[in-house]
Structure formats: C-alpha cells, structure tokens
Chains A and B, each alone.
Chain A
Amino acid sequence: MENQPEHNKFVFTRESLKKKFRWSEFLSEKIITGVAFLSITIIVLIFFFVFKESLPIFYTQEKSVVKVESVQKQEQYGGETDTAQTNSSGQEQYGVTTTDTTMIENQVQEEDTVPHGSEQATFKSLTGKKWLPVSDNPRYGLIPLFVGTLKITLIAMLFAAPIAILAALFSASFAPYWLREIIKPAIELLAGFPSVVIGFFALMVMASFFQNIFGYDGRLNAFVGGVAMALAAIPIIFTITEDALTAVPRTYTEASLALGATRWQTALFVTLPAATPGIFAAILLGVGRVFGETMIALMATGNAAMISANPFESVRTLAATIGAEMAEVVFGDTHYNVLFLIGSLLFVFNFSLNALAEFYVKGKLVKRFQGKQS
C-alpha cells in the first residue's frame, strides 16, 4: 500500500503546494491596488490645485505692501497732515456703511495714496466688510459672504434638522412596514433631485408663495434660499439618522418595553438618546451639504453681499460667489485668486466636518453600543 502513490501523478510535496508565481495574478493585483489609490490621490490633488491657484494672493500681498510703504514715505516729505487725513478716511470705510458719494471720495483718496490698490488683497482687506470685486477699486472683504453663508445654513438647518429627525424616528419606530417601504424610497428619490431643479422651484414657485404669506419686498432672500436648501439637506439627515436609529440594539428597546414603557416613551427616551452620536453626524453632514450648495444659492438667495440679521434680506454665499463670478474673471487676476481661496476655505471646512463626523462620532457610537460607556 505504501508504494502505491508512486504511480500517482499528483504527488504533493512542499514545492508543489507552494503558490505558483503568475504574472497575470501579480499584475492584476498591482493594478487593482493602484486604482484603489486613486480616491486618495484625487483628494490630495483637489486640495493641492485649488490651494495652489489661491497662492498668488500671498505673494502679491508682500509686493504691494512694500510699494505702499515706499509711496507713503515719499508723501511724508510733502506734508504729514495730508497722509494722516487720507489714512483716517481710508479706515473709516470699514466701519461705516458708506453711501455712493463717500465711496467715490474714498476711491479717489485711496488711489492717491495706494497706486496699486487694485492688485492688493491683504489680510486686512480679506477680512473687510465689503465684497466689491468688480468696482474700480475692488475690495475682497469675505465677512459678508461668511455671514450670508452662516445665515442661510442656520435657516436651512432650523427647518431640515427637526423635520428630518422626527421623520426618521417615525420611520424607524412607529411606521408600519408598508409605510416605511414608501417613505424611505421617496426620500431617496428626493436626494436624487438635481439641485438646479430645487433652485428653479424655489425661484419660480416658493419665492412668490412666501412673499404672499409674509409680504416682504424682495422676492429672493435668505429665507427662501434656506428653505430650498433644507430640501437638499433633509434626505442626508433623514438617511443617516434612520440608519443610526435602526442600529440601536434590539435589547435596548426590548428592555425598555419589558419595564412597562410604551412605544413612544421607548422611542423618545431610549432609542433617540442612544443614537445621538449618529444624529450629530447626520446634522454635521447636512451642514456640509448646505454650506457648499451652489445652484440653489445662486438661484434663490438674491445674491447681494450684505451683512444683516434679517432673514428676509438677500444674501450671497461663499459657494454662490465662486459660481457666479468665476466665469467672468481674468485668469491669474487677484479676483481669480481670491475665488480659489474661498474654494480652499470651503474644502477645508467640509473636510473637517466630514472628518469630525467620521472619527469622533462613529468611535463614540461603537463604544456606546459595546457598553464601554454608559
């Protein structure tokens, strides 16, 4: 019997059992791994190239500062009182909302003192309160854009967050099976609505509708834009919240019901608190969506860069500014660079939100369900 294997062709030695080297296997694995790196590469490239185009701001800033200094020195020989006056009036423009006439005065005076004013985009001018990129004396104050974006985000989240979270709670805890099978796909379909369609709906239908209700003057304003953006944010918040709610272990709800709590008490006091990190993540991602939304902002907010707390006044968001002005700028101009700087800021902000939602929240959720944290 022991000699029989000799005439068997398949003798399994240590050598023959070793994995054979095959070029096709080797290549396919390397190619697949290489392609998988693409997503990481794209993220890095996006940051690099968007930031790269905004870099000249920082170079020209240094140059122009030198020029300004030399000009001021020259003027000091002439008369010190003149420079003092122009300086004070130049500072005033940041504090006071200037009328047209004083603006022209300021422009004239500034052109006297700062011959390269149009090329300038210093830190001070970037934090200014005026966004006037195409005037004779362009100013790139980002504050009104930031205020506008925050205002619209706040309005959108005030609508989207409660509605989406409550709807998710209904779908996860109360809705009968057949109704859930309608609600979830319907909201998935809402997520698929192009933002330009929502923007168009807001511009043509919602704007007039809200104007009839509230009776304000401007058809397009932060409120209309915010409500329209809420439509874009609701599917994101709903889906992630729903996932978080259904991920709460059954034992939690069963324990609560066994202790005599009713269904709504269980949902409100057990399921919802257990899913808070997930809901937090949902809201963060919703904020990210609204923050970067371009088409709805372009179409429904009126696009006037002004600082005000009134929700019924027109606003201009950061993303909409890029969308509206990039097509008209001269490549390599300061205006062009500032728009890319806004893009970098948007990207960094969005990246941070996503990272926060990813690491902090998910880590907490996992720990909580594993019982490591009460």
Chain B
Amino acid sequence: MSRSKSITGGLFIGVTAFSALLIIAVIIILLVVIIIGGKETFSWEFLTAFPEDGMMKGGIFPAIYGTALLVLIMSIAAVPFGTITAIYLTEYAHEKSILAQTIRFAVRTLATVPSIIFGLFGLGFFIKFVGGGVDDVFLGGQLKWGQPNILWASLTMALLTLPVVIVSVEEAIRTVPRELREASLALGATKWETIKRIVIPGSRSGIMTGTILAVSRGAGEVAPILFTGAAYYLATLPVSMSDQFMNLGYHIYILATQSANVDQTLPIQFATTMVLLLLTFTLNLAAVIIRSRLRRKAK
C-alpha cells in the first residue's frame, strides 16, 4: 500500500471522527451554557414560588405544576393504549398480515407528524368537535369544554407520545423468552392468561422506559399546546379539567419572545430552560440506562 493512500485513509477516518466529536461537543456546550446561565437564579425558592411583578421576579411553581399535571393525564391516556397496541402487534397479529403492517405504518407516521399538526388537530377535534359538542348537547350551548383546557392539551399530547410508548413496549415484549410463553400455554393457561401473567410482567421495564420517554417528550413539547390549553399567566393553579394551565416550555417561549422586557427576565429564562433541560435530560438518561440493560439481557 502506498503512503499517499494511507494518508487519505487517515484523513478520512479523522473527518468522520471529527463529525462525531463535533456533535458531542455541541451537546456539552449546550448543556454547560444553559446551566451556567441558569444556576445563579436557580434555587429551591425559584422552584416553589409563584411569578411576581408580571413575571419579572419570583419562581415558576405554577409552570412546574402545570407540566406535571399535563404529563400525568397524558400518561394515563397514552400508556395503556400504547401497551395494548404493542401487545396486539407482538402477540395477536401475524407479522406479515396487512392489518399489522398498516398499524405499524400508522404508528411510524404518527411518530413523524409535525407536532404543530397535533395542535391543529387538538383544536379542530377535541376543542371544537368534542368539547363544542358536549357543550351543545349537555350544557345547552354554555361554553365550558369547547375552549382550550388542560384535558384537551393532555389528550393531544397523548396522541403525540403514543408511538413512543408502543415502540418501547414492543421492543420489551420481544425480549420475553418464547419458552416462558410455551411453558405457560402447556400448563393449560389460555392466551390472555399468558399475556396477563407472563408477558406483561416480563416486559415491565419496557413499559417503564416507554412511560419515561413519553413523559420526557410530553414535558418538552410546546407546539401542540400553544392553542389547546397553555396559558401565559395564571394566578391560581388549575383545579378542574376545564382549567387552563401554565407550562415550562411555553413559559420559556413566552418570556423569550413575547414579553416586553426580555433582557430583564433573562436570568429567569435561563433558569427555567435549565429546569426543563435537566428534567428531560435526567428522564432520557434513565430510559437509556434501563433500555441498555434490557438489550444486554436480550442478547
């Protein structure tokens, strides 16, 4: 082999390595810049206090509370449906059947639909069609459900995170050994009993990963809730499903682009971003660790 070729080779490998390290560097820079910008303002009080002086001072407790409530309602909707779909795809459907393939395609499409489209759908379907319909039929046209609120925002978010749950749970169910299922069936258990007693307990970690990833995604997405329930500022916490709510991501967006005093609220913006980033980062890290353990077990 000639020397020039090995130099080209070295250069080529160097360029690929540089690309990979560039991505890692950007991730680290992003994390460090946000943390440095936010750590001065960040305190226990910042997490537990209400905003004051038209959001110029104070904390972000309502935004944290709203985000937590959002992901809670979202998980209650998304996790069972996602898990059942995954069970259908792995246990009931034939791998090659048209139905199963259509469902798989639908799930993948759902995963790539832009999040703003979910917002439009939430507005058109949940708020105007379902909510407006409920108001017309049960409340005699009085406006209660036919406007943005936390229930519609959570359900919209649940649609967005459904594919996340399905994919994680499906992967976990596939790691449950065939022999366990066969042993259960051979002992006289029915298919449903096998699923209930063997498959679901065996894929608990996958359901967990799916939930964590969904929560992380739901906590970070803003586009779907822009006009389905997030509010700029609320003096009280949401108590009913028909209340609007504050949200961490929406808070950042509003403070950084819509408020009159962007420079004065800059420390609050950085601190809020830091809270959101660390929250999603921790959740994702947990999911990555659980999943890598799961994959090792599967091998």
Contacts and interface: CB of A to CB of B under 8 A. Distances in A.
Contacts of B113: 43, 46, 292, 347, 350-351
Interface stretch (A81-89, A93-101, A294-302, A305-313): A294-302
Interface bin, chain A: 35 or more
B192 A24 contact: yes
B20 A204 contact: no
B55 interface: no
B13 A170 contact: yes
Contacts of A192: 213, 216-217, 220, 280-281, 283-284
Given A28-B192, A49-B129, A326-B120, A201 B33 contact: yes
B12 A268 contact: yes
Contacts of A299: 253, 256-257
A33 B284 contact: no
A190 to B, nearest CB: 5
B233 interface: no
B102 to A, nearest CB: 6
A65 B232 CA distance: 40
A285 B108 CA distance: 11
Contact of B249 (A189, A196, A231, A293): A196
Contact of A32 (B92, B105, B273): B92
A194 B249 contact: yes
B160 to A, nearest CB: 10
B222 interface: yes
Nearest to A331: B128
Main SS at interface, chain A:
helix
B177 interface: no
A319 B226 CA distance: 12
A314 to B, nearest CB: 14
Interface stretch (A1-9, A110-118, A161-169, A251-259): A161-169
B65 interface: no
A186 B191 contact: no
A169 B17 CA distance: 9
Contact of B114 (A37, A166, A350): A350
Of the candidates B15, B23, B30, B250, the one having the most CB atoms from chain A within 10 angstroms of its own CB is: B23
Given A43-B109, A323-B226, A36 B114 contact: no
A185 B288 contact: yes
Contacts of A22: 190
A294 B115 contact: yes
A340 interface: yes
Interface string A181-218: 01101111110111111111101110000000000000
Contact of B219 (A37, A194, A264, A285): A194
9 contacts: A39-B166, A42-B106, A46-B117, A190-B23, A195-B222, A288-B114, A319-B114, A331-B128, A355-B105
The 3 A-B pairs of least Cβ separation, nearest first, read: A292-B114, A194-B220, A170-B16
Given A37-B103, A192-B216, A353-B112, 10 more contacts: A39-B103, A42-B162, A50-B121, A163-B23, A166-B15, A175-B17, A185-B288, A194-B220, A199-B253, A292-B113
